[in-house]
Chain A
Amino acid sequence: MSQVGQVVGILRKLNGEYQSSTPKKLKLIDAYLVYVLLTGIVQFAYCLLVGTFPFNSFLSGFISTVGCFVLAASLRIQLNKANQSVFNVSPERAFADFVFAHIILHLVVVNFIG
């Protein structure tokens, strides 16, 4: 029980750190990530409850959420000032790439959804 208490304490500290040290732009992206994650969970739960027919539609929707999540996470990593040394892309370029990948993702999703 004490371990659970410890873990709760750590999580609270983590939350505090996060609120104080993260700039507004990244918090916005994080909120978007949480929303996409929730959508994905809802879709998966629906699939488990109701069944996989039509499978291509489920896959298309689910991969769409995973794709949005991954692309937004990548954008966040690229925009984070702390990671500037690892990449050599400017913030504008990062956002443009993000849009480019999203166009491809949504074209395929619309084609696949049936």
Chain B
Amino acid sequence: MLLTYYFWIKAVKSGSIMWSASCALAYFYMVSSWGGYVFLINLIPLHVLALMFTGHFSHRVYVAYSTVYILGTILSMQIPFVGFQPVQSSEHMLAFGTFGLCQLFSFIEYVKSKLTKTQFDTLFSFALVTVGFAAAGAGVVLWASGKIAPWTGRFYALLDPSYAKNHIPIIASVSEHQPTAWSSFFFDFELLVFMFPVGIYYCFKELTDANIFIIMYGMTSIYFAGVMVRLMLVLAPVMCVLSGIGISSVLTTYMRNLDVNQLKKSVTSTAQSSTRARRNDDSSSYPRKNEIAFGVVCMMTFFLMTYVFHCTWVTSEAYSSPSIVLSARSGDGSRYIFDDFREAYWWLRYNTDEDAKVMSWWDYGYQITAMANRTILVDNNTWNNTHISRVGQAMSSTEDKAYEIMRELDVDYVLVIFGGLIGYSSDDINKFLWMVRIGGSTEKGAHIKESDYFTPQGEFRVDKSGSPTLLNCLMYKLSYYRFGETYTEQDKPPGYDRTRSVEIGNKNFELEKLEEAYTTEHWLVRI
């Protein structure tokens, strides 16, 4: 993405076809790696439109955009996932429209240069009436007849954040798709959050083609990063760029006022008329220019140093631990490792048939495929919403109903994550409501209603006052099987769930259709 933007800026600045072709190649690489290429193919036309509106449209921009669009489009259609979307879906229409507009603009400029004003006006109005209406008519017909597809699910959810929550629960359930809290902005960026507006201010002061691009990139990406946490990664590079512009502009402005020689001279010699004259000059703009400049430079240096400390701390604490091996500090300060995930996957790998099928929630699909080497039903890349919904229905139904679904799907093993023994909060019972929502979102699961799993007061409880539907569903039974006899904490009754901090309601039941195959050391993974 950054390579594409770099080549684009180079192409706009130089107007050379080589940079534009390189931009198209970098764009091709971007399309082959991430669906976020839609952001690029909309930001670049937006930039061209902004240049047109501000009067910066020049031959360079025409050459750059036309080449990038044509080469980029045909290259992107080589990727099977994209296929013919660039000419059929609404997400790509802005780029197409801007391309047409570019050609028109340039042609009009060319004709204008050959004629006088009055002649050009007559010709222009004539052309507008004939050609303009025909083109507009064709466009409306195409859109109304549905040949151009409207904005689809996950991108529409960016423009209307409430859309996913109401219509597509599986998109809404991903924790990375939630709106961003301001604290995560500060956690990831610290000082840059404050220098970002400063950078934008300095970009506005000097509006070149490239600065307009950076401003647009910054504004659009900060909006999208606010809508979805995952898009912070799109914001991060432009945050760094704009903050860099801000910091360097501030430092340059104040460094200019800094005169170290004058500081020394005013300390050593006080009676010389030259320094007195110079001091008089200073007080004409504002007093103590030197001291203020020195203060500001020191302050910026201090900010930059704390920023470095903050970044290294954040990376070591939050972004360096593997999520498959958990660790905690025990009472005496030493580190205690929970390796249950790998234990369970290795058990699966060596103690089950090679063609055994495992049913679990889609979060663990990739891990089971890679480490246990067994077939799974759903994983992170499953686009078949109905299939995932079927798994959700199996988890939310009673054991008999779930057994029918599992027979239909030809399942041999069921894997659940249970954190009640050690207090792990990302387990399947905490994710359970999403399973219910997704399970109830398709036809076959219409009998599954989220409200059935809550208490009459509307709470989600697993203790005695929990809803009977919840206390008898498959997920509950598989998580809490034999848990009723287990002691977890001192002074607490057996069956005390440390994650939900309650004693469970349904203990001492037997499983009729399934049997327990394996439970890991800390009961994290149960098969």
Contacts and interface: CB of A to CB of B under 8 A. Distances in A.
Interface stretch (B59-67, B292-300, B342-350, B459-467): B59-67
B84 interface: yes
Given A59-B87, A97-B16, A66 B70 contact: yes
Contact of B59 (A11, A59, A83, A101): A83
Given A3-B126, A74-B66, A86-B60, A101 B74 contact: no
A8 to B, nearest CB: 10
A110 B63 CA distance: 24
Interface string A76-101: 01100001001111000110111011
A71 interface: yes
A47 to B, nearest CB: 12
Contacts of B24: 104
B17 A3 contact: no
Contacts of A73: 66, 106
A7 interface: yes
B123 A71 contact: no
B115 interface: yes
Given A55-B84, A104-B25, A87 B122 contact: no
B15 A87 contact: yes
A104 B21 contact: yes
Interface string B4-17: 00000000001111
B94 to A, nearest CB: 18
A59 B77 contact: yes
Contacts of B77: 56, 59, 112
B78 A10 contact: no
A14 B87 CA distance: 35
A4 B20 CA distance: 41
B74 A6 contact: no
Q: Which range holds the interface residue count of chain A? A: 35 or more
A89 B123 CA distance: 34
A89 B16 contact: yes
B505 to A, nearest CB: 59
B89 interface: no
Contacts of B15: 78, 86-87, 89
Interface in B103-129: 106, 111, 114-115, 119, 122-123, 126
A87 B60 CA distance: 7
B509 to A, nearest CB: 58
Contact of B17 (A6, A10, A56, A100): A100
Interface in B180-236: none
B360 interface: no
Contacts of B17: 71, 74-75, 78, 94, 97-98, 100-101
A77 B458 CA distance: 69
Given A71-B17, A112-B77, A77 B62 contact: yes
A29 interface: no
Classify the interface of chain B: helix, strand, loop or mixed. helix
Classify the interface of chain A: helix, strand, loop or mixed. helix
Contact of B14 (A18, A88, A111): A88
Interface string B52-81: 000000111011001100110111011000
B84 A86 contact: no
Given A6-B122, A105-B71, A112-B74, A89 B14 contact: yes
B2 interface: no
Contacts of B73: 63
Given A86-B15, A112-B74, A7 B123 contact: yes
B70 A17 contact: no
Contacts of B20: 101
Nearest to A101: B21
Given A6-B122, A77-B63, A87-B59, A67 B71 contact: yes
A57 interface: no
Contacts of A88: 14
B87 A10 contact: no
Contacts of A112: 74, 77-78
A34 interface: no
Given A14-B111, A74-B66, A89-B15, A101 B71 contact: yes
A104 B119 CA distance: 41
Contacts of A56: 77, 84
B60 A100 contact: no
B141 interface: no
Interface in A53-72: 55-56, 59-60, 63, 66-67, 70-71
Contact of A100 (B18, B87, B114, B122): B18
A105 B74 contact: yes
Contacts of B21: 97, 100-101, 104
A27 interface: no
A73 B59 CA distance: 11
5 contacts: A10-B122, A13-B119, A67-B74, A70-B66, A73-B106
Interface of A: 3-4, 6-7, 10-11, 13-14, 17-18, 21, 55-56, 59-60, 63, 66-67, 70-71, 73-75, 77-78, 83, 86-89, 93-94, 96-98, 100-101, 104-105, 108-109, 111-112
Given A74-B17, A98-B17, A111-B78, 14 more contacts: A10-B123, A14-B111, A14-B114, A67-B74, A70-B67, A78-B59, A83-B59, A86-B58, A94-B17, A96-B18, A100-B17, A101-B18, A101-B67, A101-B71
